[in-house]
Copies of this chain bind each other. A is one copy, B any other.
Amino acid sequence: MRELLKVFKIGGGIIDDSAQLGQFVIELSKIAGKKILVHGGGKGASDMLQILGIEPRMINGRRITDAATLDIVTMFYAGKTNKQIVALLQQQQVNALGLSGADGNVIRATKRPVREVDYGFAGDLNDQSVDANLLHQLLQQDLTPVFCAITHDGQGQLLNTNADTIASSVAKALASQYEVELHFCFEKNGVLADVQDDQSVIPQITPTQYQELKANGVIAAGMLPKMENAFAALEAGVERVVIEHAMKINEPIKTVLCRS
């Protein structure tokens, strides 16, 4: 039987709120067994870019990462946020180890090709990007890897990478060695049947039910990329995807996506 591994992803909202981040870290420390954390960015980098007079450029909700922006996001994500989370986890006796994709060559990305839009130093992942063996070794040493959303191309170039993509790529890469649960933590209780009602959490969704919910327009547009990402992870061998409130990971309220 494969050992259980839980991969948690948290977004910028929690990182911007130190009380929430502290609470999340305490809740995460109560989760027994092997775990990995992937964290997004937060507003700090955007604020710093503004102070420095570097205008944040977004196209279709995605940041354009020029060289100056890459410098700043690397400082925030890999420096401030990552080390702060690692230190807080250590305080809770979780032996966290902060990683960018460059560290140990653990996630090698490719710079996004320029088509209609030049996203700059943005990294895309493929099925070969994650070094599952190194992660397995670190997990066997009872370390808890903590990923920021910075990767590299193996040619000396750091790359800004979507944190949801990192979480699902890490989960998929470890699915043959572990029974992997992928947890997307955000500011809602789960996938809601009624976006106005935070108690209307749908407890379980299979691929068939997802198609129905999508056809009926129940699942809001903003949730669709996360859901597609989640079902792709299930197809690739991840056991369960859990969508839950970051402050309630140890409470029963959540949505579980499963293969059938």
Q: A79–B141 Cα gap in the complex (Å)?
A: 24
Chain B hits for A84, CB < 8 A = 74, 158
Given the known A-B contacts A74-B83, A76-B79, are A90 and B143 also in contact in the complex, defined by CB atoms under 8 Å?
no
In A107-143, which residues have CB < 8 Å from any B CB?
134, 137, 141, 143
- The distance from the CB of A27 to the nearest CB of chain B, in whole angstroms, is 15
| Contact across chains for B86 and A97 when beta carbons are under 8 A apart | no
Number of copies of this chain in the oligomer? 2
- The distance from the CB of A57 to the nearest CB of chain B, in whole angstroms, is 20
In A53-88, which residues have CB < 8 Å from any B CB?
71, 74-80, 82-84, 86-88
Chain B hits for A77, CB < 8 A = 79
What is the total number of residues of chain A having a CB less than 8 Å from a CB of chain B?
38
Chain B hits for A215, CB < 8 A = none
Q: What 1/0 mask marks residues of chain A from 137 to 152 whose CB sits below 8 Å from any chain B CB?
A: 1000101000000101
Q: Chain A interface (Cβ within 8 Å of chain B)?
A: 51-52, 71, 74-80, 82-84, 86-88, 90-91, 95-98, 100, 102-105, 134, 137, 141, 143, 150, 152, 154-158
